[in-house]
Amino acid sequence: MRTSRNGVIGAALVAFALVAAACGSGDDASVPTDGPTITIGSFNFGESVILGQVYGQGLDAAGYPVDLSKLEAGSREIVKPAIESGEIDLVPEYVGSALEVGFGGEPTADTDATAAALAEAFESSGVTVLEPAPAQDKNGIVVTRALADELGLEKVSDLAGQEADLVFGGPPECPNRPRCLIGLSDTYGLTFAEFKALDVGGPLTVAALEGGEIDVALLFTTDGTIAAKDFVLLDDDGGLQPAENIVPIIRQEILDAYGDDLENLINDISSKITTDELTEMNRRFGFDRIDADVVAKEWLAANGFGA
């Protein structure tokens, strides 16, 4: 994992950049001042790690001290207490799941309203919710093309009456999540023959679906392997999934230490993360097997945030 630059060479480059900026414009407001290291956290699945690298490397390239040792920290049950306690400073979250799973709130399809409710929920913990990215990544119910053709599956409700013979696979916490098995039961009346605990929309789930160990899988809608392997993403015709825009959450003390420039930079990075670009980053990571830090570095460079 990549951390902030250090050592004699790094210090000399930073010092040179400070002098050059001061001499060139007379305004050093955009140059980070000395301040605390910003520890970036993520959940333990590929897309979240990529996003952690995007924000971490983006801040690092701008001169902020960054620590990426908390990437792949775990599930939300681990990451949320970590940012509230100050063990982690910044996390790329998912606005609907953060509100519902983290606080028992009720997210809707309205991104702004859901983000505002999340901000209110986090306020007492000293955590600030920044601007959501355009990109959304929701839970998706996926089957193979062969099963879709055999059973006539196009939307999730098409599973009703046929799911009793099907095995569902997904993350271990799926049976207790309102947007996973609980929601599939409450919204669609689905009860599967068996649930297999796999990973969080990762290679184990993909391999199990492709290999026939499971019939129906929970993957993420931005997973590039869905198209690459000709899986079928069933339409969520019952509206089970809420807004799930990527949204950075950050400790207020970090924002206080660095001022508006840090917040503006993070929001600027977020504004460039579209659903299509996130899907492509996931495809490169999950299908082309390119490391998350490389995927992030190349995306940042292409969008004007490179070192």
76: domain CATH number is 3.40.190.10
Concatenate the DSSP letters of all residues of 173-192 into one string: TGGG-TTTHHHHHHHH----
Strands 139-143 and 216-220 come out as: antiparallel
Q: What is the DSSP letter of 213?
A: S
pLDDT for 256 = 97
Mean pLDDT along residues 22-48:
72
Q: Is residue 208 part of a domain?
A: yes
* CA gap 227, 83 in Å, rounded: 35
Q: Is residue 293 part of a domain?
A: yes
CA nearest to 133, candidates 108, 113, 115, 106:
115
Asked if residue 254 and residue 115 are part of one domain, the reply reads yes
Burial (CB < 10 A; 0-12, 13-18, 19+), residue 6, is: exposed
Q: Is residue 263 part of a domain?
A: yes
Asked if residue 28 and residue 131 are part of one domain, the reply reads yes
Asked if residue 143 and residue 131 are part of one domain, the reply reads no
pLDDT for 227 = 86
Asked if residue 94 and residue 182 are part of one domain, the reply reads no
Instruction: Look at the block and give the residue holding tokens 């796999």.
Output: 198
Position 307 confidence tier, pLDDT thresholds 50, 70, 90: low
pLDDT for 224 = 86
**Across the strands, what pairs with 218?**
141
Provide the domain limits for residue 38: 7-136+243-302
> Could you say which of 188, 208, 233 is where a domain stops?
233
Asked if residue 220 and residue 144 are part of one domain, the reply reads yes
Mean pLDDT of all residues belonging to the chain? 89
Position 80 confidence tier, pLDDT thresholds 50, 70, 90: very high
* CA gap 189, 265 in Å, rounded: 45
**118 contacts 99 by C-beta, under 8 angstroms:** yes
Asked if residue 121 and residue 42 are part of one domain, the reply reads yes
* CA gap 12, 172 in Å, rounded: 47
How many other β-carbons are positioned within 10 Å of the β-carbon of residue 120? 13
Token code pair at residue 25: 């414009």
Token code pair at residue 299: 């995306």
CA nearest to 102, candidates 169, 43, 45:
43
Asked if residue 130 and residue 16 are part of one domain, the reply reads yes
Position 32 confidence tier, pLDDT thresholds 50, 70, 90: low
* CA gap 70, 116 in Å, rounded: 27
pLDDT for 238 = 94
Q: Please report, for the domain that includes residue 143, its CATH number.
A: 3.40.190.120
Asked if residue 274 and residue 163 are part of one domain, the reply reads no
**CB contact set of 187 (below 8 Å; sequence gap of 6+):** 238, 239, 240
Asked if residue 197 and residue 120 are part of one domain, the reply reads no
Q: Is residue 307 part of a domain?
A: no
| pLDDT tens digits, 99-153 | 999 999 999 989 999 999 999 999 999 999 999 999 999 999 999 999 999 999 9
Q: Is residue 1 part of a domain?
A: no
Q: Is residue 2 part of a domain?
A: no
Task: Give the chain's domain count.
Answer: 2
Residue 220 has pLDDT above 60, yes or no: yes
Q: Is residue 254 part of a domain?
A: yes
Mean pLDDT along residues 243-248:
97
pLDDT for 33 = 61
Q: Which residue has the higher pLDDT, 16 or 44?
A: 44
**CB contact set of 232 (below 8 Å; sequence gap of 6+):** 142, 143, 144, 145, 147, 148, 153, 154
Residue 90 has pLDDT above 50, yes or no: yes
Q: Is residue 238 part of a domain?
A: no
Strands 216-220 and 167-170 come out as: parallel
Asked if residue 214 and residue 122 are part of one domain, the reply reads no
Asked if residue 97 and residue 45 are part of one domain, the reply reads yes
Report CA torsion sign: 77, 83, 89, 91: positive
Residue 178 Cα distances to 93, 210, 212, angstroms: 17, 26, 26
**Across the strands, what pairs with 232?**
143
> Could you say which of 180, 209, 233 is where a domain stops?
233
Instruction: Look at the block and give the residue holding tokens 């508006």.
Output: 260
pLDDT for 306 = 73
**234 contacts 219 by C-beta, under 8 angstroms:** no
> Could you say which of 233, 263, 293 is where a domain stops?
233
| pLDDT tens digits, 248-287 | 999 999 999 999 999 999 999 999 999 989 999 999 998 8
Asked if residue 24 and residue 127 are part of one domain, the reply reads yes
Length reported for the chain = 307
Residue 7 has pLDDT above 50, yes or no: no
pLDDT for 30 = 52
pLDDT for 278 = 95
pLDDT for 202 = 85
